[in-house]
Amino acid sequence: MLFDYTQEGQRKWAKYFPKCGGYWQSPIILAASRSIALPLPALEMIGYRNLLAPLLVFTNNGHTVSLKVKNEFTKDRIPYIFGAMLNKNQEYELESFHFHWGVKNGKGSEHLLHGIRYPMEMHLIHRNMKYKDLSTALQYEDGLAVLGIFFQLQEDDNEQLKPLIAHLPAIQSANTETRLNTTMTLASLLPPQLDTYYTYKGSLTTPPCNEVVTWIVFTSMIPISYKQMSKFRVLSNGKGIIADNYRNAQVLGNRKVYVRRIQSVLRNKNDMDYLDVSTLKWYWT
C-alpha 176: how far from its chain's center?
A: 22
Contact 244, 108 (CB under 8 A): yes
- The neighbour count for residue 202, using CB atoms within 10 Å, is 27
Of 208, 37, 216, 47, nearest to 123 by C-alpha is 216
DSSP for 123-141, written as a single string:
EEEEEETTSSSHHHHTTST
Give the distance, in angstroms, between the CA of residue 250 and the centroid of all CA atoms in the same chain. 16
Specify whether 63 is catalytic.
yes
DSSP state of 86: S
Q: How far apart are CA 272 and CA 76, in angstroms?
A: 32
CB under 8 Å to 43, separation ≥6 — which residues? 81, 82, 83, 84, 147, 194, 197, 216
Catalytic residue among 63, 100, 126, 167: 63
Q: Which residues are catalytic?
A: 63
